[in-house]
Amino acid sequence: MRYVFLISFDGTHFSGSQRQPQCRTVQSVLEDAAQKVFGVPVKIAFSGRTDAGVHAAGQVVHLDGETSIPAEKLREAFNRLLPEDLKVLESIAAPDGFDCTCSARRKTYCYRFYTAASTLPLLERYAVRVEGRVDLARMREAAALLVGEHDFAAFRATGSSAKTTVRTVFSVTVDSTPVYGANLYEVRVTGNGFLYNMVRIIAGELYAVGCGRASCADIEQALKTGDRTLLFRTMPAKGLTLEHVEFDVPLFGAQGENDGIF
């Protein structure tokens, strides 16, 4: 039988989601717990991989196994075995033909950074401190250029194995909230898929536009030419959170939609 889990994790002490030799990953920790619950080795499949240090408020995974434990009770069975930085939020029986990797249609990521005179410990784990004053209106103007179907070749890091660099971005929003005396900025991107480090590069470029280090023309030229050197640096992983994954069929209702950390 196939089960679907909605999971959340703090990526600080994980070497990404995908299993790697001699590394603590989300997959390895989940599969260790699954083997104890089901009594046999179990393979976990993800809706998509996340890098070391990236967090998730609403990642979706599936696994196949046989147990007398009701599907909705598997959450409790797993959470008794899982560490505090990785938990199952919901567990259900999978709809017929469901595959969390192939069935994913939209993903929403949020990148957080803040401006402050010094590092703020209560923000630093999930957001990145940046320098200078940031113009929110300019960032929003630049964000609008990224919406739609584009060739995002300039917005990927080296090492990407994607067969095509064309992606559809459904929305890019930029918001600012005062938190602990700092201005916290949230760049939220929804798309049908993302290239390697794409959201972190988008966040970096919007920040660069906001503080006057780049312009909307740089983004337009980068989309046209695919030249990565036209864009600002890739932002650190810790500011990125996978917030929500959408499928053709409803799985967990509103659970996980835009679930931010703050």
The pLDDT value recorded for residue 162 is 79
pTM of the model: 0.94
Which residues does 23 contact at the CB level (< 8 Å), separation at least 6?
A: 15, 16
**Which ranges of the chain have pLDDT less than 70?**
254-262
| Token pair 């053709």: residue | 248
Topology given in CATH for the domain delimited by 105-241: Alpha-Beta Plaits (3.30.70)
Could you tell me the residue ranges of all domains in the chain?
Answer: 2-102, 105-241
The pLDDT value recorded for residue 149 is 98
- Write down the CATH number for the domain with range 2-102: 3.30.70.580
234-260 in b/e burial notation, b at 16+ Cβ within 10 A?
A: bbbbbbbbbbbbbbeeebbeeebeebe
The pLDDT value recorded for residue 161 is 74
For residue range 235-253, what is the model confidence (pLDDT) as tens digits? 999 999 999 999 989 898 7
Task: Write the CA distances from 30 to 37, 47, 49, 167, integer angstroms.
Answer: 11, 15, 14, 30
DSSP state of 233: P
The residues annotated with a catalytic role in the active site are: 51
Closest CA to 242 of 22, 47, 65: 47
The pLDDT value recorded for residue 262 is 53
Do the two domains 2-102 and 105-241 of this chain adopt the same fold? Answer: yes
CA distance 215 to 160: 26
